[in-house]
Structure 1
Amino acid sequence: MVDQHCHGVRRDDPPRSGFEQLVAEGGAPAPPGTTHFDTPAGAAIRRWCAPVLGLEPHASAAVYLSRRTELGAAEVNRRLLRGAGVSAFLVDTGPEAPDLLGPAEMGRLGGAVADEIVRLEQVERDVAEAGLPAVDYAGALRDELAARAARAAGLKTVAAHRRWPGSDPSRPSRGSVIAAAGRRLADPKARLADPVLVRHLLWAAADVARERSLPIQIHTADPAGLTGFVLALAPLGVPVVLVHCYPCHREAAYLASVFPHVYVDAGLAVALTGAGSAHILRELLELAPFHKQMYGSGCHGAAELCYLAALYHRRGLARLLAGRIAEGEWSVSDAARIAHMIGSANARRVYRL
């Protein structure tokens, strides 16, 4: 399989509190007196990751974490990343952190090839912190995006992570960009929030993506709110891959069915929902064309999430395909072709791997 959307995992061995935050979607500590091991993902770690580390299934959380420390982070990462059975990792490198593995290290430990997905907001922040005058901001951003895209497999934005910045999807004027850049450069370390500069960043990235035939990943929990921008982007022919869409993955599947340049994956929700993940995959299969679906673990920090996402994706998809075959809806060859498209072929085609 191709893991078309993941992040680096920790190169060190975090304490229990740190590890538990890595395997929780919100990244916050569990309430006092509770543990994130009492979640679908926590139970799945004890069931499926424990044997990979040489323990019995359902080992206690304390025993699991003790074994993790005994083996060391490098060996744990090697076992779990290789156990995922992934042939290629596409790694979002922003924001870069010294305690996370980069693409080359992910590939080496996972026994796979690895390429970079460039985070747009990280590029913008680097440009903003360079101390350029506002009139040079747009050109410098364009040049830096082009330079980083030259060695990447794709681009990614988190602008729609919480709410899409405004209803206007059009390109902002040069004057409005310069004016907004003046305000931005007064506080370059702040999170990019100005809707004019966000739209400018996205359109600059779209131009670079078109020139280099790269897709753009959009991290969004509100796919429906992207319709205007997705429609505006259609004439450029730039592939858009919707990631981290749960619990609105059905809306993402609808966009993938309507727009020829839109793709979708189930993302980290597969690992976090554990034994219930087949339901998410079933809902994507309801409408999204098979040539528009991809596999992406969405993992970040903990190699366990990479392993579990691959495991549950295979198990869930196999169960769904077997059901369609048993019902006479699909032939065996149909099912095999669909599994290949979703697991590998679509990503290889879109990312030109």
Structure 2
Amino acid sequence: MAGATEGPVREALDALPLVDHHCHRVVTADLDRAGFESLLTEGDVWPGVSPFDSPVGVAVRRHCAPLLDLPRHAPAEDYLARRAALGGPEATRRFLAASGTGVFCVDTGYPPGPAALPVEDAAVYEVVRLEGVAESVAAAGVEPDGYAEAFRTAALAAVRRPGVVAVKSVAAYRTGFDLDPHRPTAAEVTGAAARWLAHGGRLAEPVLVRHLLWTAVDLGLPLQLHTGFGDGDLRLHRADPALLTDWLRLTAGTVPVLLLHCWPYQRRAAYLAAVFERVHLDVGLTLHHVGPARAGAVLAEALEITPFRKLLYSSDACGVAEFHHLGALAFRRGLAELLQDRVDADELALPDALRFAAWAGRDNARRVYGLPGDAPDGD
């Protein structure tokens, strides 16, 4: 069995310039141990429990150490010392280059800032986080009865910036998806705005989150939705993408909806992608946290019923550039193993496997976001 280490599918994926349809900016400054470890985990760093002693930490030491001219499995102390000696900018350059990514779509909402990555020979696009737009409107001062129009105007201005290809919502964090799926009335929005504006802070008013999701539909751009796995601010059971079913039914035929990350709900996301025309998914973030050793298992569940035109690649890399390299490596190896095994078992023809690999790694994102260079359907 060719598996992850050899075969034509692996060769094709290794050579494919990926489109990373969802990621974040990285820290290029030098990092001490505490700073690096804080970026290595979705949780907190607890006394006596180092993130290096977790699946993602082990994967960093195994797969990232050689790019710093260290042996595989280098101890954490050696890894951090070598990274510091090279300097943050050089380490970042090495990992971004090693990812083999040709296009980055950057969520500029976290950390806030421009869609900038220190990469050469790659295109960088912006994804606008709508909660940030709403919170800026509130901070600037607006009356409750003017909130809806002010938010719409600000969102339109944001998506008309050069290089913007999508919008994103973190409703999963703020309220969860167990919301009334219907578009709120103008009176409901005004009343909710009065409640929110009275105390300010993050947008977590359920009616206004519903309004934000429907405004995203009106904007007409692809909508990315965080689902599943995230940091401790999340209530995981409320981030189940299946809770979106009624809303997806009401918005069917409008904008593409990209379900991000999904774990541990990748099978439920697959169901949604299988029954709703405009729903797509990825398992980004998950792949670098489980590492190349388990990426194939996660992808296998995601692809049990997902149409091959519906899977996209993302790293969801944030903070440290190691995650760009790890995410790409895990995706390439996991998908190659999955497809090559099916070819070897005569469950899939090699030309189809190569086509599906290119779709998932590059062409599906090009098609959904209208990026240059998409191959026509069926090619």
Q: What pairs up with 1:330-345 in 2 under 5 angstroms?
A: 330-345=348-363
What residue in structure 2 maps to residue 321 of structure 1?
A: 339
Report the counterpart of residue 167 of structure 1 in structure 2: 179
- Whole-Å Cα distance in 2 between the matches of residues 208 and 349 of structure 1? 18
Q: Name the residue aligned to 2:67.
A: 52
8 Å Cα contact 2:19/2:361 also seen in 1: yes
Stretches (4+) displaced over 4 A: none
Structure 2 distance, partners of 1:187, 1:246, is 34
2:152 aligns to what? 142
Q: Is the 8 A contact 1:6 1:89 kept in 2?
A: yes
Residues 1:25 and 2:42 are matched in the alignment: yes
SS in 1 for 2:280: strand
Alignment of 1:110-129 (within 5 A): 111-129=121-139
**SS of the residue aligned with 1:37?**
helix
* Percentage of matched positions with identical amino acids: 48
Deviates more, 1:170-179 or 1:157-166: 157-166
Please report how far the alpha carbon of residue 165 of structure 1 lies from its aligned counterpart in structure 2 after TM superposition.
Answer: 5.1
SS at match of 2:252: helix
Contact 1:10 1:302 in 2 (8 A): yes
Check whether the contact 1:89–1:103 (CA below 8 A) recurs between aligned residues.
no
Matches within 5 A, 1:168-183: 168-183=180-195
Query: Does structure 2 conserve the Cα–Cα contact (< 8 Å) formed by 1:25 and 1:272?
Result: no
Q: How far is the alpha carbon of 1:12 from its aligned partner?
A: 1.5
The whole-number CA distance in structure 1 between the counterparts of 2:185 and 2:297 is: 45
Deviates more, 1:32-41 or 1:318-327: 32-41
Of the three residues 5, 26, 38, the one matched with 1:9 is 26
Larger RCO (CA under 8 A, 6+ residues apart): 2
What is the number of equivalent residue pairs in this alignment?
340
Deviates more, 1:215-224 or 1:163-172: 163-172
**Residue of structure 2 equivalent to 1:306:** 324
Give the Cα separation in 2 of the matches to 1:325 and 1:165: 38
Structure 2 residue aligned with 1:79: 94
- Please give the per-residue CA displacement for 1:205-227, whole angstroms capped at 9, x wherever unaligned: 21012xxxx21001012111111
Are 1:200 and 2:218 an aligned pair? Answer: no
TM-score normalized with structure 2 length: 0.87
8 Å Cα contact 2:175-2:205 kept in structure 1: no
How big is the shift at 1:167?
3.4
**Deviation of residue 232 (structure 1)?**
1.3
> Is contact 2:174–2:204 with CA below 8 Å preserved after alignment?
no
Q: In structure 1, how many angstroms separate the alpha carbons of the residues matched to 2:175 and 2:227?
A: 8
Partners in 2 of 1:324 and 1:161 — Cα distance? 37
**CA deviations over 1:166-186 (Å, ceiling 9, x no partner):** 431111111111121122222
Report the AA paired with residue 259 of structure 1. F
Structure 1 Cα separation of the partners of residues 329 and 111 of structure 2: 27
With over 3 angstroms needed to count, the CA separation of the structure-2 counterparts of 1:35 and 1:317, relative to structure 1, is same
Residues of 1 paired with 2:111 and 2:263: CA distance? 25
Query: Closer, same or farther in 2 for the Cα pair 1:350/1:165, shift >3 Å?
Result: closer
Matches within 5 A, 1:177-326: 177-188=189-200, 190-209=201-220, 214-221=221-228, 222-235=240-253, 237-274=254-291, 275-326=293-344
Residue 34 of structure 1 deviates from its aligned partner by: 2.5
CA contact (8 A) 1:82 1:111 kept: no
Tell me how large the CA RMSD over aligned residues is: 1.4
Letter in 1 for 2:40: V
Distance 1:165 1:343 in 2: 28
| Most deviating of 82-91 and 145-154 | 145-154
**Post-superposition shift, 1:150?**
1.3
Deviation at 1:163, TM superposition (A): 5.0
Deviation for aligned residue 1:293: 0.3
Q: Which residue of 1 aligns with 2:236?
A: none
Contact 1:128 1:185 in 2 (8 A): yes
8 Å CA contact retained: 1:5, 1:297: yes
Deviation of residue 110 (structure 1)?
Answer: 5.2
Would the aligned equivalents of 1:137 and 1:178 in 2 still touch at CA under 8 Å? yes
In structure 1, what is the Cα distance between the partners aligned to 2:246 and 2:337? 36
Native 8 Å contact 1:154 1:217 kept in 2: yes
1:90 match: 105
- For residues 150-199 of structure 1, the C-alpha deviation after alignment (integer angstroms, 9 at most, x for no partner) is 131100001023753543111111111112112222222x1211111111
One-letter amino acid of the counterpart of residue 29, structure 2: D
TM-score by length of 1: 0.93
Between 339-348 and 166-175, the greater mean CA deviation after superposition: 166-175
Larger CA deviation: 38-47 vs 89-98? 89-98
Paired letter, 2:31: P
Q: Distance in 2 between matches of 1:54 and 1:39?
A: 22
Letter in 1 for 2:274: S
CA contact (8 A) 1:77 1:109 kept: no
Counterpart of 1:154 in 2: which secondary structure?
strand
Give 1:90 shift: 0.4
Hey, what's the Cα distance between the residues in 2 that align with 1:145 and 1:162? 19
User: Which amino acid counterpart does residue 158 of structure 1 have in structure 2?
Assistant: V
